[in-house]
Structure 1
Amino acid sequence: MGHRSTTTGAPNALLPRRLVELGGRGPEDVVADPRGGVLTGLEDGRIVRVDGLGDPARTGVRVVAETGGRPLGLELLPDNALLVCDAERGLLRIGLDDGVVRVLADRVAGAPLRFCSNVVALADGTVYFTVSSRSYPLEHWIGDLVEHTGTGRLLRLAPGETEPEVLLEGLQFANGLAPSADESFLVLAETGRSCLTRYWLTGPSAGRAETFLDDLPGQPDNLWRAPGGPIWVALAGPRVGALELLHRRGPAVRRAAARIAVRAPFRPPGTMGALAVDDAGRVLHHLEGRRARFRMVTSVCEADGRLILGSLWERGLAVCDLPAAPG
């Protein structure tokens, strides 16, 4: 049973305390490690680790690997390895001790695996990941959101396998993933529908998908589960009424609008946002910043006592205060 987003009250302020330059553009996803550091991938293929985010005097950035493609979603593994959704190369595994990059999967259903977006690994070693679009590449992502292609997918890669299994199709720009605390279901962001979808892994509904949280106050991007805490949802942009009206038009009209959109100059609006939700679909935090100097928040995580924001658009990370506990 899905929930409607109960975010009608005024959101709390989301204010960057400082920005951390990374020497490269587009830290699209951010994930925290147990030592308080953050890992992120840049447009030029580098994976960097950022330490000391809670103290400007200790902050340091170092390169830990290079994918040779365009890294997006990341998942840290217990053996100090990193899963990477690379928009150009597929699903990768990187050893953080030696920087060695290994391709886990680069084809699905006989076709090249492109624009994989976010990934999680469960306790049994099964890997789940999303493909945002099979119609548009990453550099033309806006075309998919305008055309509303519904070509997103949820995939599963079982331990020892090299060919992913398609679990769900027809998703509207499938994006972030996060497991429930007991790993009985996955929460999946559909950016093109401004909603979160639940995919059941166990129980009588196993293999079924349903709406988890609908009518979000923005377009959800990456998800990140805080250890012992909520699921953080990055809101990459506000809802756009004209776009939602366009989605009700026929395919030919949407395709024509998408052709214009991919050629038009793009600059994100000056808003930033994030939600924290629990496994019952309740919104615990709604954070928003207007006239922001940090735009297009595509990821959120907690690290070193701070809330860290990543962005496909920016050249660094934003460091914010953690919100007070709800209630």
Structure 2
Amino acid sequence: MMLLDWILKNRSKRWKVPLKPPKLSDTNSNEEDKNHLKEDEKQLKENKKQLEEDSRQVEEEQKQLDEDKKQLKDKKQLKPLKSHQTRRSKCNIVLEIVVVFIGSILMFFGFIQGPLQPASFKLPAPPKFEGVLAANTKLQEATNIFQGRVFGPESIAIKDGVLYTGIDDGRLVAINGTEVNTIASFHASNDESIPCGIPAIEHLCGHPLGLRFDKSGSSLYIIEAYSGLYKINLTSGTAQHLSKYNDQYIGEHMQFVNDLDVTSEGVVYFSDSSSQWHRRDYAYLGVEGSATGRIFKYNPSTDRTEVVLDDLAFPNGVQLSPNEDFLLFCETTYARINLLFLKGTMKGQVVSFVENLPGLPDNIRASSNGGYWVGFSVVRKQPFSLFDFLSDKPWVRSYISKIIPPDVISRYMPKYGLIVELDQLGNIKQSLHDPSGEVVPGCSEVLDTGDALYLGSHNNPFIAKVTLKK
């Protein structure tokens, strides 16, 4: 009835419902009244019937509307949920596959015996490039000489204006003006078809490293990385093999003979960077961080070689003091230079000369100012040094060694040219930089002639020359 009241109240035009009862006639014409009444009753019945039919239709429409709302609600809730569940399911499957794949790789390499047994160590935070270490572009003023004619000239010696250096195809060469002449070859094989200059066969071709003249300047002492210590008389052209890699008095064989210095009496101090890794694997030595290196002493009066120090982490460049009362040697892995007393009450003792250098030191040589020049093959780059970060994570370095060859590791080391000059007490006096690494990507050694610096590197195909300003 409520629906009927609403229709009556709003005067729907669809149904012809009398709004007021008919007014009776005063003439008492009963027949007319009856007829009108019958017609009204008939009309009312029709309207009631129509109303009932419309009510049923409204109910059906309301029922259909409720059903449509329910279906719409189901679409909004159930279907997106189903799609979301499908996406989650696919994501989970992909994630599980990735996890299983990575886990399989880690397990695979975990069972493989890697070439390294990495040691854990921790260095102090690298020094900031400020003050005397502030970055500059002084090395970008260098001139690269003999580009493409000398590959890997790590160490350089000079006599009468002629430069001498060893290169990666196993030759010792003399550079006079524009000429590059071969002085000696350290090939272990007579097969001339061997393509020397390739790291994988470097042991067959040889690689001369450290060079020094004796005090008279008549003999040149050479370290060949694989076979040991040599002496060449430049006047007569004769050569002597003074100390061999498998010398019977040294214990474990030399594997990576590196640098040297010679006293006025002809005693030679030289380094063997590792008793395990060859020079061609030097990147592995740096990644492993092991301490199997040694310092040797060759005595010409006895013709014997003896171990002076052992258990060193990548001993590298060596340099005698002006009075020959102590020996400085770079310990590359630990970014420091040590001092070994050769005379006096502290003879045989080792102390630190300079700690926490801004890079990994290679060779050390005297400067014309009475101090020392140090070259860095790798810089502990600011603000993040990957070498420092991995130093106390031996398991990461172990995995690296299983999947990346040493020549690839060395190829992607950061390029940054840096050399520093130390005073007699080990304080840094000045630094020369090439932050871009475009002119001088790295430096192994600095030869100071007083008017110029000659920079050698085991990686560069040239010698860099920096003219000193008076």
TM over 0.5: yes
The residue aligned with 1:245 is: 389
Match of 1:94 in 2: 232
Deviations along 1:9-30, whole A, 9 cap, x unmatched? 1145222123323624211111
**Cα gap change, 1:158/1:194 in structure 2, threshold over 3 Å: closer, same or farther?**
same
CA distance in 1, matches of 2:306, 2:402: 31
Report the Cα offset of residue 60 of structure 1: 3.3
Matches within 5 A, 1:217-236: 217-226=358-367, 229-236=370-377
| Map of 1:70 onto structure 2 | 207
Alignment deviations for residues 155-191 of structure 1 (CA, whole Å, 9 cap, x no partner): 1111233432111112111100111121111111111
Distance 2:316 2:459 in 1: 16
Quote how far apart the aligned CAs of 1:98 are: 3.8
Q: Which amino acid aligns with 2:293?
A: G
Give 1:272's aligned residue: 417
Check 1:284–1:136 CA distance in 2 against 1; reply closer, same or farther (3 A cut): same
Q: Distance in 2 between matches of 1:64 and 1:227?
A: 28
CA distance in 2, matches of 1:23, 1:311: 14
Equivalent residue number for residue 301 of structure 2:
160
Displacement of 1:223: 1.4
2:130 matched to 1:8? yes
Q: Which residue of 1 aligns with 2:446?
A: 300
Q: Which has the higher strand share?
A: 1
**Alignment partner, residue 55 of structure 1:** none
CA RMSD of aligned residues (A): 2.3
Q: Is 2:325 the partner of 1:208? A: no
Q: Highest Rg: 1 or 2? A: 2
Residues in 1 aligned to 2:311 and 2:448: alpha-carbon distance in whole angstroms: 32
In structure 1, give the amino acid aligned to 2:304: E
Of residues 113-122 and 239-248 in structure 1, the stretch that sits farther from structure 2 once superposed is 239-248
Could you tell me which residue of structure 2 aligns to residue 317 of structure 1? Answer: 463
Deviation at 1:282, TM superposition (A): 1.9
The aligned counterpart of 2:4 is none
Moved more, 109-118 or 41-50: 109-118
1:105 to 217, 223, 243: 243
Contact in 2 for aligned 1:270/1:293 (Cα 8 Å):
no
For the Cα contact (< 8 Å) 2:366–2:448, is it kept in 1?
no
User: 2-side partners of 1:312 and 1:260: how far apart?
Assistant: 24
- Judged with a 3 Å threshold, the aligned counterparts in structure 2 of structure 1 residues 129 and 289 are, in CA distance, closer, same or farther, namely same
Q: Which residue of 151, 156, 165 maps to 1:25? A: 151
Q: Residue type of the partner of 1:67?
A: F
Contact 1:223 1:232 in 2 (8 A): yes
Task: Look up the match of 2:121.
Answer: none
**Could you tell me which residue of structure 2 aligns to residue 148 of structure 1?**
289
Tell me the distance in 2 between the aligned counterparts of 1:79 and 1:111. Answer: 33
Shift of 1:253: 5.0
**For 1:192, what is the secondary structure of its paired residue?**
helix
Matching residue of 1:60:
179
Q: Relative to total residues, which structure has the larger helix share, 1 or 2?
A: 2
Instruction: Provide structure 2 residue ranges, at least 5 long, that are not aligned to the other structure.
Output: 1-125, 188-205
Structure 1 residues 11 and 76: CA distance shift in structure 2, 3 A: farther
Offset, 1:111: 3.9
Give 1:268 shift.
Answer: 4.2
* Separation in structure 2 between the aligned mates of residue 304 and residue 48 of structure 1, nearest angstrom: 23
Tell me: CA distance 1:164–1:257, structure 2 relative to 1, closer, same or farther (3 Å).
farther
- Give a deviation string over 1:67-86, Cα, whole Å, max 9, x none: 23211111111242111111
Distance 1:147 1:140, change over 3 A: same
Q: Secondary structure at the match of 2:237?
A: coil
Name the residue aligned to 2:257. Answer: 116
After superposition, the C-alpha distances for 1:194-242 in whole angstroms (9 at most, x for unaligned) are: 1111111112211011111011111110111246632111111111633
Deviates more, 1:118-127 or 1:95-104: 95-104
Bigger CA drift: 237-246 or 128-137? Answer: 237-246
Give the direction of change, closer, same or farther, for the CA distance of 1:293–1:147 in structure 2 (3 Å limit).
same
- TM-score (normalizing by structure 2): 0.62
Distance 1:314 1:45, change over 3 A: same
Q: Find the counterpart in structure 1 of residue 429 from structure 2.
A: 284
User: What secondary structure is seen at the aligned counterpart in 2 of 1:14?
Assistant: helix
Structure 1: 5+ residue stretches without partners: 52-57
Residues 147 and 64 (structure 1), Cα distance of their counterparts in 2 relative to 1, 3 Å cut: same
Task: Please tell me whether the aligned partners of residues 367 and 421 of structure 2 are also in contact (alpha carbons under 8 angstroms).
Answer: no
Flag the 1:42–1:167 CA change in 2: closer, same or farther, 3 A: same
Q: Work out which structure has the larger RCO, using CA pairs closer than 8 Å and 6 or more positions apart in sequence.
A: 1
Relative to structure 1, the CA distance from residue 99 to residue 169 in structure 2 (aligned partners, 3 Å threshold; closer, same or farther) is same
The amino acid across from 1:29 in the alignment is S
Alignment deviations for residues 251-281 of structure 1 (CA, whole Å, 9 cap, x no partner): x554443344435622443311111112211
**TM-score after normalising by structure 1:** 0.87
Q: Secondary structure at the match of 1:243?
A: helix
Answer whether contact 1:155 1:164 (CA < 8 A) is retained. Answer: yes
Aligned in 2, Cα 1:160/1:272: closer, same or farther, shift over 3 Å? Answer: same
- The answer (yes or no) to whether the contact 2:255–2:275 under 8 Å persists in 1 is yes
